[in-house]
Amino acid sequence: MMIDINKHVSNFELTGTNNLQFKLSNYIGKEVVLYFYPKDSTPGCTNEGIDFKENINKFNSNNIYIFGISRDSIKSHENFKKKYSFPFELLSDSDEEVCNQFDVIKEKSMYGKSYKGIERSTFIINSKGILSHEWRGVKVPGHVNEILKTFNL
């Protein structure tokens, strides 16, 4: 079931880097940016993470929390986070439960082969737990700046 804009987002739990047991309900009263990305250590995903990293102070100083989500393992996430010194946690959704909740698993094609993968997408969940903004089919260049503009930062 897909989440609609201006609707409450059901609580979910995921394991994250730095031994985080993420629960969405723990962030009521705070703004949360969830960015779903296809795969650790690939060029687009690396650039997207770096863009968030370079702007993290703007987010943090406004009580906005950034979390990256992919289907990669925690071990892969830990290596990716360490290699690029990401100052935010990466969440593992290996069973695709949250990916399906946000409807980001799409049919993709590479080298003529079809497969299911994560469509790069970003969601803002406001302090009341309501989905306030979404971007689907994200192109990395300029995307983090679009998010900052949404927050008037």
Residues acting as catalytic residues: 45
Which strand (E) or helix (H) includes residue 35?
A: strand 31-36
Helix (H) or strand (E) holding 89: strand 89-92
Q: Decide if 122 contacts 150 (C-beta within 8 A).
A: no
Residue 106 and residue 39: Cα distance in Å, rounded? 14
Which positions ≥6 away from 2 have C-beta within 8 Å? 102, 103
Yes or no: say if 92 and 73 are a contact pair by the CB < 8 Å rule: yes
Distance between CA atoms of residues 29 and 77, nearest Å: 27
